[in-house]
Every structure is written in C-alpha cells, then in structure tokens.
Amino acid sequence: MRLKKIDIGGLETPNNVFLAPLAGYTNAVFREMCYNLGAGLTFTEMVSAKGLCYNSQNTRELLYITPTYGGIKAVQLFGSDPEYMRRAAASEEIAPFELIDINMGCPVPKIFGNGDGSALLQDFAKASALIKACKDSGKRVSVKFRIGLTADKLVAADFAKMCEDSGADMISVHGRTRDKIYAGEVNTEQIAAAKNAVKIPVIANGGIFTPADADQLIERTGADGVMLARGAMYSPWLFAEITSRPMPDKRALVKKQLEDTFRVYGERFAIVFMRKMAAFYTKGKPGSSALREKLFACDSMQSLEKMIDGIEF
C-alpha cells in the first residue's frame, strides 16, 4: 500500500498504518512498541468517560503514557451521556492527549446494553451530541464505528456523514456488523461508501493479518489508511513489514516487551499479560498448543523469560 501522512485536524501522522484501540491489550508498553515498529498512530484501551468523572483509579491507570513514547497521544473514550463525555474530554487526565477517539463500535453485550459502543449506531442524534461534546474541549476528535448492527441495517455512509457534520476530524470504519463480532468477511463496499460520503480522512479496519491484506483493503475501499487490531496482537512486527522497516529480532523484541511491562506494571501483571501475548505470537506455529500450555504454567519472570528464550517466533 502507498504510505502517506494523515492530517487529522492539523495533527499530522508519520504514516497511515494505525494500531486500533484494543481493550486489555493496548497498554502503554505495547503502544510504544508498535509505534517504534512503524505504527503511525496508536490509541489507549477504551476508557470510560463516566469512570473518569468519578475518579476511578482503574480507569485513570489506562491513561498512562511512557515517557519515551514519541508519537501523537490518542485516547479512546466510551460513553453515551454527552455531559460525562464533555467533562471527561476537558479533564486534567485527558489534557496530555492530542486526539480523542470515540468508541461507537464495541460489540460486547455489556457495553452495548448500556447504550455505549455500537449501540450508538441506532441513535444518530445522541452520537452527534457526543461528538460535539468532545469537540467542546478544543481537541481533535475521531470516531471509530462499525457499518451497522446487522446486515439489513447498514449505515456506514450516513453515519460517516453525521460524524463529519458533527465536527469529527477523522473516522475509522470496522467493516463488520455488530452481530458478527470479529468473524466473517469484511464488507469493503460499506467502507468505500463511508469514504465516498465524506471529505475527512477515513481509516479502514478489519481482517488485516499480512501486508497483502492491507494492500487489498486500501484498493477495495479507497480508504486513506488502515488500522490493525488482531493482526497487531498476533504479529506486532506486521507494522515493520507494511511500512518497509527493517524486521526486528523478534525474540529480543518480546523479551524487551516483557522487561518493560514488568518495569511499568509490576511482576504479576507482566507474567499474566505476557503469557497471553507470547501465546498470540506463536499462534499457528507447529506445536503451538503444547507451547501455550507450558507458557501458561510459567509463574515467575524467570520461568517466562526462559520459555521466551526457547521460542522460535
């Protein structure tokens, strides 16, 4: 795919290959790693606007940024109350961030049931009010959304236009409906329809696991860039491949991720998190099932580091 900078309301990204916000995964260390591998933009895990307003410590911890992170600082907020979104966007905790992304695509039942995430696809007026509330902070605002709730209720073009008219500086479109969760084919026609409906940048999301997937998604949608989600979880070095950067020593990269995660979040978190990540990184390789069992048996930094030393990534 052709690499280019993306202008988000005056913020310029180094390229158009982004890391999606991923609940439980895009912590500060993982974001910095992906940025260093070539990601042009990374986002925090989704952060509850209401949680911020109620000073939730767990919520605030999601906002940590490593001192050495060199990219645009972008946070993803979720919520369905414009007043909470307005207060959160203008809060001291969000002050370090240059871009606010609003989650209008999460399909998880708990989020959907509260009227947040993809539930907003069925309430354009409320979605518009949320965008305007965040814009009141003076920050740039983007929106990540799905193409509809079900195949008979596709709204990508109309929703994209609403986002632009409400002040959004960029949109990211996941080319699946809410009921598909993360399965099934990506509907490239709907992403293309969203692209054709607006003048702001449109980022295509869904089904990118190889450089060829990124090429194909851009070709079929005309989008301005791509956003990696599960593909980045399984192979963060995919950013280097797509952006034509030198391929890193994968084992050294994973060991550094382990060490940095331990330094920032402590031993217990590092062990639990990096067992999952190492399992993702070896997914599909010969003997990966037995390897996962051994990984999840690791109960110390030393045992986990020893396991990583013996893995061919």
Contact 146, 177 (CB under 8 A): yes
Distance CA 142, CA 62 (A): 19
Length of the chain counted residue by residue:
313
**Angle between the N-to-C axes of helices 156-165 and 188-197, in degrees from 0 to 180, rounded to the nearest 10:** 30
Query: Scanning the structure block, which residue is given the tokens 């050294």?
Result: 252
Nearest Cα neighbor of 63 from 111, 18, 100 is 100
Instruction: Please pick, among 34, 53, 106, 163, the residue that the annotation labels catalytic.
Output: 106
Pairing of strands 11-12, 202-205: unpaired
Structure tokens at 67: 């001192």
163 part of the active site: no
| Residue 49, number of CB atoms within 10 A of its CB | 31
Please state, in angstroms and as integers, the Cα–Cα distance from residue 46 to each residue in 59, 93, 144, 220, following that order: 9, 14, 11, 28
SS3 at position 144: strand
Q: Show which residues are catalytic.
A: 106
